[in-house]
């Protein structure tokens, strides 16, 4: 930590801050600048508590943390890129992975047709919501248990691993019975009760970045799950909220290499939510492969204009097939890059 005192802080204020720091078990290194005193805090202790306390002390201008507030998810904790296994499929290893499917599970016919279509085109995991977070209480809230059962059926027919959303810590056991991977949506990224419960669950977790969450907050939410016992977390960039309205969200694509510097966890991209418009999905998907994401999650629907939700951003089955075909040469380049990176670390 670095504490900057105000320019005219008194001797007593400075001494008081130093004492408080020592009470927390730290050592003090004070630097007399031309305008103000800056105090370096060294040692091991409760950083947050110390910071919050010092920020409130008289004469203090700012108190800034230098070390990263997360541990298990950091690159410093584990240097090699992690792979997370989802029902036999590995995300974060040597293969580029695609998760595809509808926003919501709507009917047996819809989910079976989609599952077969995306499997044939090369997806290895099926997405589909049974519990749906909807802005309005009057909108379709998902088929719930019925939806989970349909997902299982689709899995049995195609072998695709199932990724589905969990919205409450109360439903963790139920959803875990059907899902191979528990998805935490953007709106629940800081639902800490849910994160803690998922930390005790034996299913991998796909953690989507909150609409207005910083990269650091995303990592802290991942740390919640890992610190509570579950190391299998996949991160997902899905666009953030900004002033721009030409797209549904603003795809923060640089978050992917930033995350790759800060954490060993795998990171995937969601071009569907990041843009909100079907016509933009292929271009953003290419960018995602080129920038080095570990995979993509894409919304696909047999008939988008009959979709109950997110039709505008869903690819048709044909659109998905074309995209998978067009991505192939980019995925080849991705494999070379990945191979070189793995050789470098290994």
Which of the residues 291 through 310 are near its own copies (CB under 8 A)?
291-292, 304-310
Print burial letters for 167-202: b (CB count within 10 Å at least 16), e (below 16).
bebebbebbeebbbbbbbbbebbbbeebbebbbebe
Q: Which stretch binds its own copies (CB under 8 A): 93-101, 176-184, 209-217, 317-325?
A: 209-217
Give CA–CA dist 162/130, Å, rounded: 11
- Binds its own copies by CB under 8 A, chosen from 177, 192, 200, 335: 192
Q: Measured on CA atoms in the order 243, 248, 254, 260, is the torsion positive or negative?
A: positive
Considering only residues 218-237, where is the footprint of its own copies by CB under 8 A?
A: 220, 223-224, 227-228
- Binds its own copies by CB under 8 A, chosen from 120, 157, 333, 342: 333
Q: Smallest Cα–Cα separation from 295: which of 324, 262, 317, 261?
A: 324
Choice between 160 and 289, CB closer to its own copies:
289
Binding mask 146-165 for its own copies (x = CB under 8 A): --------------------
Choice between 44 and 343, CB closer to its own copies:
44
SS3 297: strand
Cα diameter, the chain: 75
Considering only residues 129-148, where is the footprint of its own copies by CB under 8 A?
A: 133-141
Print burial letters for 244-260: b (CB count within 10 Å at least 16), e (below 16).
eeebbbbbbbebbeebb
- Binds its own copies by CB under 8 A, chosen from 22, 109, 241, 325: 241
Choice between 88 and 137, CB closer to its own copies:
137
Considering only residues 258-287, where is the footprint of its own copies by CB under 8 A?
A: 258, 261, 274-275, 278-280, 283-284, 286-287
- Kind of pairing, strands 27-32 and 37-42? antiparallel
- In whole angstroms, the minimum distance from the beta carbon of 272 to its own copies comes to 12
Give CA–CA dist 278/284, Å, rounded: 10
Counting residues that bind its own copies (by CB under 8 A) gives: 109
Show the tokens assigned to 119. 């499997």
Choice between 71 and 156, CB closer to its own copies:
71
The answer to the question of residue 243 lying near its own copies (CB under 8 A) is yes
Considering only residues 22-81, where is the footprint of its own copies by CB under 8 A?
A: 29, 31-36, 38, 40, 42-44, 48-49, 52-58, 64, 66-67, 69-70, 76
- In whole angstroms, the minimum distance from the beta carbon of 52 to its own copies comes to 5
- Binds its own copies by CB under 8 A, chosen from 114, 123, 130, 169: 169
Q: In Å, how far are 55, 94, 146, 231, 255 from 77, measured between CA atoms?
A: 29, 21, 41, 13, 20
CB-based burial of residue 21 (10 Å sphere; 0-12 exposed, 13-18 middle, 19+ buried)?
Answer: buried
Choice between 89 and 255, CB closer to its own copies:
255
- In whole angstroms, the minimum distance from the beta carbon of 33 to its own copies comes to 5
Considering only residues 92-131, where is the footprint of its own copies by CB under 8 A?
A: none
């Amino acid at each position: 930590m670095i504490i900057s005192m105000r320019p005219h802080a008194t001797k007593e204020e400075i001494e008081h801050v130093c004492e408080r720091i020592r009470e927390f078990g730290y050592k003090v290194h004070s630097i007399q600048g031309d305008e103000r005193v800056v105090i370096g805090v060294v040692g091991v202790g409760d950083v947050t508590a110390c910071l919050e306390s010092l920020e409130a002390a008289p004469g203090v201008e700012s108190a800034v943390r230098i070390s990263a507030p997360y541990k298990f998810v950091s690159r410093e904790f584990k240097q090699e890129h992690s792979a997370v296994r989802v029902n036999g499929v590995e995300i974060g290893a040597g293969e580029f992975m695609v998760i595809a499917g509808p926003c919501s599970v709507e009917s047996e016919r819809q989910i079976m047709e989609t599952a077969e279509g995306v499997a044939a085109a090369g997806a290895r995991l099926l997405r589909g919501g049974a519990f749906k977070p909807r802005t309005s209480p009057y909108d379709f809230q998902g088929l719930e248990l019925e939806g989970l059962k349909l997902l299982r059926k689709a899995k049995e027919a195609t072998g695709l691993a199932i990724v589905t959303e969990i919205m409450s810590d109360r439903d963790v056991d139920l959803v875990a019975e059907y899902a191979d991977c528990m998805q935490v949506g953007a709106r629940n990224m800081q639902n800490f009760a849910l994160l803690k419960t998922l930390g005790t669950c034996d299913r991998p977790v796909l953690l989507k970045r909150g609409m207005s969450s910083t990269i650091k907050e995303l990592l802290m939410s991942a740390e919640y799950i890992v610190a509570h016992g579950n190391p299998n977390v996949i991160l997902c960039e899905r666009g953030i909220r900004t002033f721009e309205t030409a797209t549904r969200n603003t795809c923060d694509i640089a978050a992917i290499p930033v995350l790759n510097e800060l954490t060993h966890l795998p990171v995937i991209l969601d071009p569907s939510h990041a843009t909100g418009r079907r016509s933009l999905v292929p271009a953003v998907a290419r960018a995602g492969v080129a920038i080095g994401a570990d995979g993509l999650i894409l919304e696909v629907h047999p008939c988008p204009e009959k979709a109950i939700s997110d039709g505008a951003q869903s690819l048709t089955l044909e659109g998905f097939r074309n995209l998978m075909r067009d991505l192939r040469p980019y995925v080849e380049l991705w494999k070379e890059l990945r191979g070189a990176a793995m050789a470098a670390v290994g």
